[in-house]
Amino acid sequence: MAAASSLAICPIRSEIWAVISAGNHELAAQYAYIDACLDHSGNSIYAEQFMAAMESEAFFESDIMRLIDCGMRYVPEDCRLRKCMDTVISMYNQGADWTETRQTVLSRYSHPDFTNAVQNMGFILIALLYGQGDMRKTINTALKCGYDADCTCASAGAVVGIIKGRSGLTEDVRELINDRFVIGIDIKRSSDKISRLAEDSLADAMKSPNYMLEVVDAPYKAERPENFSGLQCEYFSKEGLELALQNIVPIRWRLYGPFFEQLEQPIDERYPSPHGECSVLPDLVCMVNNNVSLERDYIADKTAAAVIAESFDDFIDADKYFTLEGQMCCYAKTYIEAPDNMKVWLVIGNNDGFLVEVNDKCVLKKDEIRLWTPYNNFTCAELKKGINEISVKLLRRTERLEFSIGFRRYVGCHWHRSRWHTDLRFC
């Protein structure tokens, strides 16, 4: 799937790494990095590492600021997430009201995607700092900040919950929780009790290489399994991930282009000529601008010589290969082998106009300039058993081109509730 650069989905997965790495923030951050790299990048990875490190230390440290300092080790000083966090901490230390701090986060770091990691991590810090260790106050503050509130409430509440433990929560909170959780995805468990989930998590923790873990009050016998070898972090760094990618077959896109035309625009006769009377030169704006259009077929024969672009995710990085400045058009083509005739969801992320064809049939066309998010557009398409041609026409009318295309299963429900295809082979 497309690597979502700043979504707040993956930090919500940090708790499991904290639990199996209790007291070992370095190990927790390593696991979080591996997990986050599956479907996120940039600030989202830093956010999950931050949360995992902070939560792992929360088993032994109750001071919120010390926990935040621990997590900050994994957030680069020059990234947008770190600047947002520093802003929240600074305003809290200066005595600003939480609503004022929230507004500053939105004014400086907001994003139209309500799941964006930067603004939501700012809200988690607001909840933790202004919640002052009280579970209800912490969760309510996160909730009132809005945006991706199910994630922010859960993450902030998890930190307080780890610090206090069940015995440290007030009776009204314990009654509200009622030792029960609800799974909203298609996963079956033998028990919906939080206590049973804690036992299962502890069992996994005993299989991890976290030798700092010592179980002293478990309701059942918790020991490391015989012949224990431990869970190993094989690719826990950027260099390690790059090494792993060498063993993965990338998606091969054939790129054709770039194509462009001179902008044609008549001189406005209401004003003096920019070149002098009787000049046949075009208007000045035409002399400094190219033009492209979805309506014009710039290349009738798309089997001409192509640049081969390799991708390990759903992005088509045309700018890497076409480095000219100004407006341009290019075509990208790949082939997919389907195991059977099937209908699929096409999920598109775009910041400019595009046209998608499946087996020479147009399935989606949008002439627009937008902020890229991975879910800007979508449609259904029919794949035949065997080889299918996927062709995309792309426009770039701004400073850069951002385009991604992913395939989800069609099972009669909305694409947001379906899984990504893993049985399609690109060739």
- Per-residue pLDDT reduced to its tens digit, 234-278: 655 667 767 776 777 889 999 999 999 989 888 888 888 888 777
Regarding whether 185 and 70 lie in a shared domain, the answer is yes
> Is pLDDT at 392 greater than 70 in this prediction?
yes
Same domain, 229 and 313: no
Residues spanned by the domain of 67: 10-242
Residue 3 lies in a domain: no
Alpha helical stretches, state H, 132-193: 135-145, 149-164, 171-177
Residues 218 and 269 in one domain: no
Domain boundary among 215, 242, 269: 242
Q: Which of 242, 275, 294 is the last residue of a domain?
A: 242
Residue 197: inside a domain: yes
Portion of the chain with pLDDT greater than 70, in percent: 91
Q: Is residue 269 domain-shared with residue 192, that is, in the same domain?
A: no
d(CA 267, CA 253): 41
Can you tell me the mean pLDDT for 9-34? 90
Q: Is residue 55 part of a domain?
A: yes
- Judge if 129 and 225 occupy the same domain: yes
User: What pLDDT score does 236 carry?
Assistant: 58
262-299 core/surface letters (b: 16 or more CB in 10 A; e: else): ebeeebeeeeeeeeeeeeeebbeebeeebbbebeeebe
Global model pTM greater than 0.85: no
Q: Please state, in angstroms and rounded to a whole number, the distance separating the CA atoms of residues 180 and 106.
A: 34
Q: Which residue from 44, 35, 37 is spatially nearest to 75, judged by alpha carbons?
A: 44
- Rounded to whole angstroms, the Cα distance separating 196 from 133 reads 25
- The reply to whether 2 falls in a domain is no
First to last CA, the chain: 17
- Give the number of domains in the chain: 2
pLDDT, one tens digit per residue, over 130-165 is: 999 999 999 999 999 999 999 999 999 999 999 998
Give yes or no: residues 353 and 407 share one domain.
yes
Please name the residues in contact with 42: beta carbons below 8 A apart, sequence gap of 6 or more. Answer: 5, 6, 79
1 belongs to a structural domain: no
**Listed residues 210, 242, 274: the one ending a domain:** 242
